[in-house]
A and B are shown apart, each in its own frame.
Chain A
Amino acid sequence: MQSITIRIPSALRAFAGGASECQVQAASVREALSALQTEHTLLAQKILSRGGELRPFVNLFLDDDDVRLLNGLDTPLRGERTITIVPSVAGG
């Protein structure tokens, strides 16, 4: 299991008790999201469908890469990595 940092954007922090990030142990992106579900259930409900897939207004980045460019949620995690949640925002 790897120590993964999940960064939470300000648009979603209200659903994570104001936290800007959390640390989880996971061997894949999907496992990291499961751990997020345990840590911040409300946030996970907002960004994941019932089937555990990402909802269409959210992207996940493993370090600087969209996970869709990798193996999606099945991307394995090795070493200390950072997952960043990037939701769509519309302010202008």
Chain B
Amino acid sequence: MSMRERRMQDLRRTVPQLDPVAARERLDQGALLLDVREPDEIAQGTPLGAQPLSRGFLELRIERLAPDLDQPIILLCESGARSLFAAASLQQLGYRQVYNVSGGFQRWKAEGLPCAVPRSLNAEARQRYARQLNLPEVGEQGQQRLQDSRVLIVGAGGLGSPAALYLAAAGVGTLGIVDHDRVDRSNLQRQILHADSRVGMSKANSAEVALKALNPSVEVCTHELRVDATNADALVHDYDLVLDGSDNFRTRYVLNDACLRHGLPLVHGSIYRFEGQVAAFWPQREGPCYRCLFPEPPPPELAPSCDEAGVLGVLPGTIGLLQATEALKLLLDIGEPLLGRMVIYNALSSEMRRLRIAARMGCSCRTRSVEPIEALQGDAAL
């Protein structure tokens, strides 16, 4: 008898064995069924309800899936051998109810038990997103969630540039880019989506060139238009999240209202000289909307544009990246998104503060259920 066989014989005495039918029953009763095979094996099929956790990461990640040492855990591999060693390992970690599926997935299939073929990332995606896949908060499931996500970025300017680049790099499947303008040389000090060779090109098309060069697997939808009350609904309708990188109040209110009507999260960012603001508005889930915070725009003399007031080129980089971070958190449903919170940043003092912001009684986001939709349309408040 080989050393391996002797060891397995010993382990079968200490690790309770379940046949697939018994394993299925325990799964239905709340046990955790872990498929410890490699991702390429799991890609061919896995027991319905099983969680993938390859053997190599078992000890490192088990605590996240099973924080309670009394949680019943059933392990499965192809034939029942690798999972037996894995079960012994979990026992050593202190788990008290660990089982092994004898005969593994081969027997599971042979007995006609339900299987699923999970979607999986291809080899290129696995390589590209390796550092992200290693994060338990993202993992393969999160990466696929990003791949299925559609984000509309309004404005391919100072804020939209870093946000779009990083969301494309992170693997957000579809990015809509809205901008009616053309690339001007004076944009290049901060609008890093564009390049000197593309001066004169439409910003939406220039953005597509840059994003495709960075990540060809991202689908880029260009919208060469100025957002207004007549087109906002049709525009946001196809997306899961809107990132506001616009440069004027009219667009900001129109986007807020359209997102409210469609129940979409809106990630806000705005800048002035050396200072920036970031918040996420999704009153359907938590916190106020943009109109709650600022019911009306300021008079023109209090709100000069970047063209008039100037802006430090790196500032929209910082703020746009905070927006991209909030977008990823919302898409992945991780962390504490800035719902009901606003971050203000001062580049000169290097101070960043997280403020609690309030909903406003009587705001349209609070009364939308009783107000006809038409009453929210248009931009009468501007």
Contact = CB atoms under 8 A, between A and B. Distances in A.
Interface of A: 9-12, 46, 55-59, 61, 64-66, 68-69, 84, 86-92
A84 B246 CA distance: 25
Interface in B243-259: 244-249, 252
B303 A11 contact: yes
Interface string B292-326: 01111110001101100101000010000000000
Nearest to A10: B273
A68 B293 CA distance: 10
A88 B354 contact: no
Given A9-B275, A57-B302, A59-B294, A92 B157 contact: yes
B355 A92 contact: no
Given A56-B295, A59-B294, A89-B277, A10 B272 contact: yes
Q: Is the interface of B mostly helix, strand, loop or mixed?
A: mixed
B246 A65 contact: no
B270 interface: yes
Q: Is the interface of A mostly helix, strand, loop or mixed?
A: mixed
Given A11-B302, A59-B294, A69 B272 contact: no
Contact of B247 (A57, A61, A92): A92
Given A56-B295, A56-B296, A92 B158 contact: yes
A54 B355 CA distance: 18
B355 A66 contact: yes
A65 B356 contact: yes
B305 A91 contact: yes
A64 B352 CA distance: 11
B355 A90 contact: no
Given A46-B302, A92-B158, A64 B275 contact: no
A69 B275 contact: no
A90 B356 contact: no
Given A57-B294, A64-B356, A68-B360, A87 B270 contact: no
B252 A91 contact: no
A15 to B, nearest CB: 8
Interface string B325-355: 0000000000000000010100000000111
B294 A88 contact: yes
A46 B302 CA distance: 8
B142 interface: no
Contacts of B355: 61, 64-66, 84, 86
Nearest to B273: A10
A84 B345 CA distance: 13
Contacts of B160: 92
B344 A86 contact: yes
A92 B271 contact: yes
A3 B174 CA distance: 52
16 contacts: A11-B273, A11-B303, A11-B309, A12-B302, A55-B298, A56-B296, A57-B296, A57-B297, A57-B302, A59-B294, A66-B358, A68-B358, A87-B302, A89-B303, A90-B249, A91-B271
Contact of A91 (B297, B311, B344): B311
Contact of B356 (A10, A57, A66, A92): A66
